[in-house]
Amino acid sequence: MKFTFNKKDKLKSKKLIEVLFTEGRSVSAYPLRLVYMNASFDDAVLVKAGVSVSKRHFKKAVDRNRIKRLLRESYRLNKPDYFNNITTSYALMILYIGKDKPTYGQVETKMNQLFEKFIGTISKPQS
């Protein structure tokens, strides 16, 4: 898996995002929350991801876009470490639920914790 976040890796389907929020499961490492579910894609991509920041906490689009940029960059750099060994495909949505503007270091450490929890939950047998 490469250190890229191409168009085919992005979660863009409105229908899939709607189903993801109604039927998906979640793990969190404050101030990040990951909503995920099994999905099948037409292309040969195992993981499609999207990022979102609340308009309620960050009124200015500049602030929201900066946080989304940090989230995407952290996802892009950590993706090969965590998603190389998975066999089923997943749709992911990474949400920033904090109220303060983060630094890249904070986002990086929390993203690692979030992915550790995610890998731990999907590797356990579901009951």
pLDDT tens per residue, range 48-96 = 999 999 999 999 999 999 999 999 999 999 999 999 888 899 999 999 9
14 within domain boundaries: no
Residues pairing with 90 in the sheet = 38, 47
CATH number at residue 74: 3.30.230.10
116 is written with which tokens?
Answer: 């550790």
37 within domain boundaries: yes
- Residue scoring higher pLDDT (109 or 126): 109
Distance of CA 73 to the CA centre of its chain: 11
1 within domain boundaries: no
How many Cβ atoms from other residues are within 10 Å of residue 120's Cβ? Answer: 10
62 within domain boundaries: yes
115 within domain boundaries: no
What's residue 2's pLDDT? 82
116 within domain boundaries: no
Q: What percent of the chain has pLDDT over 90?
A: 82
8 within domain boundaries: no
How many domains is the chain built from? 1
Cβ neighbors of 111 (< 8 A, separation 6 or more) are: 29, 32, 71, 74, 75, 78, 94
Rounded-to-integer distance, Cα 107 and Cα 75, Å: 10
Average pLDDT over residues 6-34: 95
Query: What is the span of the domain harbouring residue 53?
Result: 25-109
53 within domain boundaries: yes
Instruction: Give yes or no for residue 127 having a pLDDT over 60.
Output: no
Q: What pTM does this model have?
A: 0.92
Average pLDDT over residues 8-36: 96
